[in-house]
Amino acid sequence: MAYILGIESSCDDTSAAVLHDTLLLSNVMASQDVHKKYGGVVPELASRAHQQNIVPVVSQALEIAGIGVGDIDAIAFTRGPGLLGSLLVGTSFAKGLSLATKAPLIEVNHLTGHVLSHFIDTVSANGAETGTGIVRVRKPEFPFLCLLVSGGHTQILKVNAPLWFEILGQTIDDAVGEAFDKGAKLLGLEYPGGPHIDRLAREGDPQRFAFARPHINGLDFSFSGVKTSFLYFLRDRQAEDPHFIADNKAHLAAGLQETLIDILMEKVIRAVKSTGINRVALAGGVSANSGLRNRMVMEAKKRHWDIFIPPLSFTTDNAAMIAVTGYYKWLEGRTAGLDIVPVTRSSLMSER
């Protein structure tokens, strides 16, 4: 058994988590509100906030887990992808702690973390709750398909083993999270816009307005056309009626969300057909979207899929997913040296 400390600082959330093997003991998060008024993450401000948050967040994670720094068996940290200044804070902190405690370092790809969030145990073997308030999650059997949807990535993966992936399809331009956020910005909503679109869409009619759906071969995605179609549509209608956006916000949000979900689901359906694998998992920030979660449930019923939808606290960036990935690498003895440096751009590579 091992205590794994996970540290995540790739973008604008500072998070630390402690796992006992795969069992979650704590998952602490400090989100940064400072970016809201700028309409996007300001890298310089993000690094500064990480620097302020990292010590209290890690201390709190250890305290909630009921362990001291000396008990840590391995330190897993996000090496990338992400913002350099943000990654440097987590990486440097992890190195310092590793030097002080002699606990080995484990580098984690943030995207692998999102996928492996399905393997975090929230209830111990004897059925005891660990107090994190997260309900028991069911783990997918291998191989399974994973729709990974975040602010920076959109991919369909075949997951063969915890650290062995094949990319079946991915976006050729924007990520779906970006499409949510940019669409939201056009509607005058705060950053990040995805959750606002989600909330508004519940009160709107998704059929009222239609936006262009791309025709892309195979299992790849494209979202830049939707964004442009949305932009031009708003511009034209706003020119006729200056209150158009204000009067139709919920319908616009619902129409945009429906379009984005249709694009995602068309490819998931195709991936299940082409691989014959009917176990389908969702991962990444956009998997918090209630419309997408409902559509998955609906398609699963209709098509007899076995689906895995992460609890909300494991959808957006968190350190528990970094720690669980660290655990699987620790099992294989895959530790990193102190000369390791962050990588800002990396796609999900199989770890084998």
Binding site residues, Zn ion, CB under 5 A: 150, 317
For residue 180, state whether it binds ligand KG4 (rule: CB under 6 A): yes
8 interacts with ligand KG4 by CB under 6 A: no
Give backbone dihedrals phi and psi of 119, rounded to 5 degrees, phi first. -110, 10
Distance CA 272, CA 145 (A): 8
Q: Residue 343 and residue 99: Cα distance in Å, rounded?
A: 21
- Applying CB under 6 A, does 285 fall inside the site for ligand KG4? yes
Q: Binding to ligand KG4 by residue 206, rule CB under 6 A? A: no
The full DSSP string for 30-62 is EE-GGGGGGTS--HHHHHHHHHHHHHHHHHHHH
- By CB under 6 A, the count of residues binding ligand KG4 is 19
- Region of 127-135, 192-200, 263-271, 332-340 interacting with ligand KG4 (CB under 6 A): 192-200
Contact with ligand KG4 (CB under 6 A) among 80, 194, 225, 310: 194
Q: Which is nearer to Zn ion, 225 or 310 (CB)?
A: 310
The residue nearest ligand KG4 at its CB is: 285
* Residue 204 within binding range of ligand KG4, rule CB under 6 A: no
Treating both helix axes as pointing N-terminal to C-terminal, what angle do 290-303 and 194-201 enclose, rounded to 10 degrees?
A: 70
| Buried/exposed code over 251-261 (b: 16+ C-beta within 10 A; e: otherwise) | bbbbbbbbbbb
The residues with which 264 forms a beta bridge, in sequence order, are none
Tell me the three state secondary structure of residue 19: strand
Q: How far is the CB of 290 from ligand KG4 (least distance, A)?
A: 7
* Nearest by Cα to 251 from 212, 201, 216: 201
- Shortest CB 193 distance to ligand KG4, Å: 6
- Which residue type, as a one-letter code, is found at position 177? G
- 170 lines the binding site for ligand KG4 (CB under 6 A): no
Is residue 198 a contact point for ligand KG4 (CB under 6 A)? yes
Binding site for ligand KG4 (CB under 6 A): 11, 150-152, 177, 180-181, 192-195, 198, 284-286, 288-289, 316-317
